[in-house]
Amino acid sequence: MYRTHTCGELRAAHIGQNVTLAGWVQTVRKFGSITFIDLRDRYGITQLLFGEELNKELAENPLGREFVLQAKGKVNERTSKNPQLATGDIEILVQSFTILNKAATPPFTIQDDTDGGDDLRMKYRYLDLRRQAVKKNLELRYAVNRAARNYLHENNFMDLETPFLIKSTPEGARDFVVPSRMNPGQFYALPQSPQTFKQLLMVSGYDRYYQIVKCFRDEDLRADRQPEFTQIDCEMSFVEQEDILAMFEGMVKYIFKAVKNIDYTATVERMTWENAMWQFGNDKPDIRFGMKILNLKSAFTVGGKLLATGELINGAGFGVFDNAETVLAISVPGCSEYTRKQTDELTDWVKRPQIGMQGLVYIKYNADGSLKSSVDKFYPEDKLRAIAEAAGAQKGDLLLLLAGREERTRKAMSELRLEMGKRLGLRKEDEFKLLWVLDFPLFEYAEDENRWVARHHPFTSPKPSDINVMIDNSPVIENAEKYLEHPYNHIKANAYDMVLNGNEIGGGSIRIYQRELQEKMFAALGMSPEEALHKFGFLLGAFEYGAPPHGGIAFGFDRLCAILGGSESIRDFIAFPKNNSGRDVMLDAPSTIDDKQLVELSIRLSVDNVGRENA
Ligand code: ASP
């Protein structure tokens, strides 16, 4: 028997017992004629004490870090206890040991505060995974997985697998493709999600489906994306939006309880997409704090009085405001005492290329009621006060204003709001706030192609009240400049996103389930009937055989884990992640393949030896 206990198991109650442990050597500390070794496994660390006798044996067989060791001995009470360690009351007085395997000196220390850089740790991921900090993340991942499964199982969902080798139907992201040897010149695609399969399962009558499943998207990797990632993918039949919202806020609350012991009893807030964009500047607002964005060019009600703030800010001779498409403000609580240095630094912050603004205007609404602003010259104090109050500022607040083109300014203000929230400590890691964002537009206008694209995906249904708008109107955009006026621009989707602390953790929709409407949708997206049949004939066909009303949702499993683990990076929660260029640096993948393999696959590379030196 290799071991009687794990390295995290022994306590004072075991004192006097003979035990056998096996694990990895964390540290070796020599003190004269005795040696202490910390032995580590998945469950913890136990201190081993090698007395004088064994020390001689140790001298002949020196132990290095990460050696795999088996030690037999007696559990002793420690003279100096270590309250930091679960096993800190005891140590093992070793009677005999066996080196089960040697280890080369690891390229970085296997500790929480390791000396290994990112790349090195990714290359030796199997060593990185030994570190407690990483292990904790994977344990959390497993706990979330188990909780989700328990909840879904309790609610009658069936875990059904769907294929990975499917048909390429790029819409949205790019597909990863796999050449078929048996069908020369033909390719499978890896699924971007099991979307159409889960809908087919509904047609087949499996009314509650789920899968914790890999999805593949060949996207340019923006920060913290992975080309393969995991979803908790779900679908239900005979449901309306409310049924889905109730079922899945239940699931997330269940996960909170199971994984973090949090009783999320509050009602999950809801917000329309329009309000999210309007008040927070993005479609996944962090509602742990306020600081809503205010449009100073539109009218506000202050104390029941309607104030046209546009009139307050326009025509003052301050060209930046006078000529701007929009002027947006946030009121930062309690920051009126910011120094010149601090406001200058914020100005530099908004001028960074990632934010891209020309400048920042501030109004300090001092505690004594006086006002100070970077545009004092143009606005007398009473006007500044009227602006500040219209914008909802209170004495002691700092009003930050950005002006420019609508879309860019709103985006910049959204970033600035998040940044100020962070600086003021309002985005607390241990506070969790869920939000449903509802009523998304069904379509988005793709300027470069002058056509509509589905904002969620082409299987999402319009709101029942908007179905006729879609059926009765042609999708053709006669005048690209006036696309905003096209009826399709006002159609709302029967879709919903779940947002947690400013991150989209899930998204889904009620689906189209009639062939005619689905055909109309494909046509709206610019697909010819032949193309629609070629790509999605199977689904259109299935809709003719009694498709039930259905809808679903998918949660970004990696992201959910990262947020629950208090991390910004999903990579930390994936056992074997890819780096930012989509490479697995441990495997050195992707890589070239043999000419023989290419021949078998009937593939000739268009550029010879592209990247072949990496082989
Ligand atoms: N398949 C969708 C996605 O991956 C989610 C859904 O609509 O259920 O975003």
Domain range 12-101, CATH architecture = Beta Barrel (2.40)
- From the options 3.30.1360.30, 3.40.50.300, 3.40.50.12780, 3.30.450.20, give the CATH code of 289-427: 3.30.1360.30
Query: Tens digit of pLDDT for each residue in 461-509?
Result: 999 999 999 999 999 988 888 888 999 999 999 999 999 999 999 999 9
Pocket test for ligand 1, best of 162, 175, 193, 214 (most atoms within 8 A of CB): 193
Query: Tens digit of pLDDT for each residue in 227-240?
Result: 999 999 999 999 99
CA dist 528 → 173, 454, 516 (Å): 20, 16, 14
Domain boundaries, the chain: 12-101, 134-260+557-584, 289-427, 441-492+514-547
At 159, list the tokens.
Answer: 């875990």
Q: Say how many Å lie between the CA of residue 195 and the centre of ligand 1.
A: 6
Q: Say how many Å lie between the CA of residue 192 and the centre of ligand 1.
A: 9
Ligand 1 atom 1: residue of nearest CA: 195
Q: What's the gap between Cα 291 and its chain centre?
A: 23
Non-local CB neighbours of 95 within 8 Å, separated by 6+ positions? 54, 72, 73, 74
Cβ(544)–Cβ(550) under 8 Å?
A: no
Ligand 1 atom 7: residue of nearest CA: 508
Matching residue, tokens 């495997």:
587
Mean pLDDT over 329-351 rounds to 96
Residue 53, helix vs strand vs coil: helix
Task: Please give the mean pLDDT across all residues of the chain.
Answer: 94
Query: Tens digit of pLDDT for each residue in 52-97?
Result: 999 989 989 899 999 999 999 999 999 999 999 999 999 999 999 9
From 99-103, 172-176, 368-372, 457-461, the region with the lowest mean pLDDT: 172-176
What are the DSSP E strand ranges found in 248-340?
269-272, 294-295, 299-302, 305-308, 326-332
Q: How far is Cα 139 from Cα 225, in angstroms, rounded to an integer? A: 21
Q: Could you tell me which of 128, 110, 66, 105 has the C-alpha nearest to residue 579?
A: 128
Q: Say how many Å lie between the CA of residue 341 and the centre of ligand 1.
A: 46
Omega cis (within 30) before 441: no
3-state SS, one letter per residue, for 15-42? CCCEEEEEEEEEEEEEECCEEEEEEEEC
DSSP state of 481: G
Q: Could you tell me which of 556, 561, 542, 554 has the C-alpha nearest to residue 495?
A: 554
At 569, list the tokens.
Answer: 């990076």
Does 134-260+557-584 carry CATH code 3.30.930.10?
yes
Ligand 1 atom 4: residue of nearest CA: 193
Residue 386 has a pLDDT of 87
Q: Say how many Å lie between the CA of residue 553 and the centre of ligand 1.
A: 6
Judge residue 227's burial from the number of C-beta atoms within 10 Å of its C-beta, 0-12 exposed, 13-18 middle, 19 or more buried: buried
